[in-house]
């Protein structure tokens, strides 16, 4: 898809959730691999970007509570990447459902109406609309809703625990991170995945979409698809609190 020696001529994408861990790495991947001629970040606030990055990235600030008024931000994109999400710990039950299901679904509908043909959704391992756990149930529901929008292609990634570097950490989480780090070392493709690998897999599924209208990538497939570029392994101390929150939500419902 990418033009030789430059960005893919005329191709455009948008990224939802670019301020999050996956979104930040995804943006770097899109820019470093020169995949699209235009990259638009859609979010509730403008992000601080370095001068070089800011020159090739557009930003659209939207009110997610009134998303239908921002249809123009979703116009004219070939591909949409969605890393949007929060946790029940941060937003409460109603807030989590509103962000992870309702905002994502409405954004997908606006994107489809605006001409987007391929929607790439970051979901979660274990997503199931019939789960008794709130987190997994909502993830399963939004997967079904996004598929129903009718994109030419819809790719859903279901990563396990995300391993990433964060700027802040809490001492109380240290023990949990140590345990999960050991598990990740013993079973590297079962229970965790570095966020860099998820971002690379998201880009790879656009560059090499393969057959089928809907494709669901489980954690092992994400590892395989995201191995294209060598990466530095993350230590147990670098696991993110947000991912721990996600999996805590899944356990407590």
| Dihedral sign computed on CA atoms, order 107, 110, 114, 115 | positive
Residues 177, 141 contacting (CB under 8 angstroms) = no
Q: Which of 88, 103, 135, 191 is catalytic?
A: 135
Q: Which of 88, 103, 139, 215 is catalytic?
A: 139
191 tagged catalytic: no
If you write DSSP's letter for every residue of 161-206 in order, what string do you get?
A: EEE---S---GGGHHHHHHHHHHHHHSTTTSEEEHHHHHHHHHHHH
How many CA atoms lie less than 13 Å away from 252 in the CB half-sphere?
11
139 tagged catalytic: yes
The 10 Å Cβ neighbour count of residue 65 is 10
Q: How far apart are CA 15 and CA 82, in angstroms?
A: 6
Residues acting as catalytic residues: 135, 139
């Amino acid at each position: 898809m990418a033009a030789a020696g430059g960005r893919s001529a005329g191709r455009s994408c948008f990224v939802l959730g670019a301020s999050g861990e996956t979104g930040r790495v995804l943006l770097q991947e899109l820019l470093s691999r020169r995949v699209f001629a235009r990259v638009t970040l859609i979010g509730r606030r403008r992000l601080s970007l370095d001068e070089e990055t800011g020159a090739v990235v557009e930003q659209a600030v939207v009110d997610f509570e009134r998303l239908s008024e921002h249809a123009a931000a979703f116009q004219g994109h070939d591909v949409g990447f969605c890393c949007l999400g929060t946790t029940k710990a941060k937003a409460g039950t109603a807030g989590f459902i509103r962000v992870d299901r309702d905002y994502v679904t409405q954004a997908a509908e606006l994107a489809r109406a605006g001409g987007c043909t391929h929607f790439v959704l970051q979901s979660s391992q274990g997503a199931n609309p019939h789960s008794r756990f709130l987190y997994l149930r909502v993830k399963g529901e939004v997967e079904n809703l996004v598929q129903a929008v009718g994109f030419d292609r819809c790719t859903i990634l279901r990563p396990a625990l995300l391993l990433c570097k964060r700027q802040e950490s809490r001492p109380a989480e240290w023990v949990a991170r140590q345990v999960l780090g050991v598990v990740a070392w013993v079973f590297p493709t079962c229970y965790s995945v570095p966020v860099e690998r998820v971002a690379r897999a998201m880009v790879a599924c656009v560059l090499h979409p393969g057959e089928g209208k809907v494709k669901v990538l489980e954690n092992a497939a994400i590892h395989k698809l995201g191995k294209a570029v060598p990466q530095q392994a993350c230590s147990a101390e670098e696991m993110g609190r947000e991912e721990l929150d996600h999996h805590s939500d899944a356990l407590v419902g």
